[in-house]
Copies of this chain bind each other. A is one copy, B any other.
Amino acid sequence: MAESDYQVVEFGPMESWGAFFGGYSPQTLAPGRKFVDREMDLGYFGVSLNSRVPGEGVDYWHSHSVLEELYLFLEGEGEMGLDDRVVPVKAGTAVRVGQGVLRTWRCAPTSPVPLKWICIRAGGARLKDIPKDAAPIRDRPLPW
């Protein structure tokens, strides 16, 4: 029987992200970050899990020449610097950042809880250029 091509990794609930992730390292670039794609064999996109305490950000700007990023905020309140603008973010805010845009971020000093977000990045084919590839199967019994 062929092995199914799936993989399962436990990263822990959001409240554990900050403490669990430890400090700055050359691999994480900042405290409070874990790269899902370093622990799973993601082929086409990368994902990081992020946590910052109130007032804490990163000490740099960065941009990407190839990758598009989506910052999806899940808890807390913060701000993103995007070129010459500052955008407030909170649970449910999604920020798409195109190539070449300078970005930086912080958890607001007044945030009642740490800022939690995921960041997704990819630079391959545009999704719209991939032909419809989903194949629903309605006659296979569900497993429960």
Residues of A within 8 A of B (CB): 1, 4-14, 16, 36-37, 40-47, 57, 59-68, 70, 72, 74-75, 79, 81-87, 89-104, 106, 118, 120-127, 130-131, 133-138, 140, 142-144
The residue of chain B having its C-beta at the shortest distance from the C-beta of A126 within the complex is B43
A42 near B70 (CB under 8 angstroms)? yes
Find out whether the CB atom of A91 lies under 8 angstroms from the CB atom of B124: no
How many copies of the chain does the oligomer comprise?
2
- B-side contacts of A1, CB under 8 Å: 84
Q: In the complex, what's the smallest C-beta–C-beta distance from A110 to chain B, in angstroms?
A: 12
CB pair B61 A6 closer than 8 Å: no
Q: Within 8 Å CB of A92, what residues of B?
A: 10-14, 16
